[in-house]
Amino acid sequence: MTVGSEETRLVVLRGNSASGKSSVAAGLREKFGRGLALVAQDNLRRVVLREHDVPGAANIGLIDTVARYALDAGFHVVVEGILYADRYGDMLGRLRADHRGGTHHYYLDVPFDETLARHATKPIADEVNETHLRDWYRPLDLLPDGVETVIGADSALAATIDRIMNDTGLCRQARQRGIPGGGSARKTARQSAQ
Q: How many domains does the chain have?
A: 1
Q: Is residue 110 assigned to a domain? A: yes
Residue 185 lies in a domain: no
Is 28 a residue whose pLDDT tops 50? Answer: yes
Which residues, 6 or more positions from 159, have their beta carbon under 8 angstroms from its beta carbon? Answer: 185
- Is 17 inside a domain boundary? yes
Q: Is position 4 within any domain?
A: no
At how many degrees (to 10) do helices 58-72 and 85-98 cross? 20
Residue 118 resides in a domain: yes
What is the domain extent for residue 128? Answer: 9-180
The confidence score (pLDDT) of residue 93 equals 98
What CATH number is given to the structural domain containing 70? Answer: 3.40.50.300
**Residue 128 domain flag:** yes
**Stretch 25-48: mean pLDDT, rounded?**
95
Return mean pLDDT, the chain: 89
What string of DSSP letters covers 65-76?
A: HHHHHHHHTT-E
How does DSSP classify residue 142?
P
Domain membership flag for residue 193: no
Asked if pLDDT for residue 65 goes beyond 70, the answer is: yes
- Kindly state whether residue 187 falls inside one of the protein's structural domains: no
For the entire predicted model, the pTM comes to 0.88
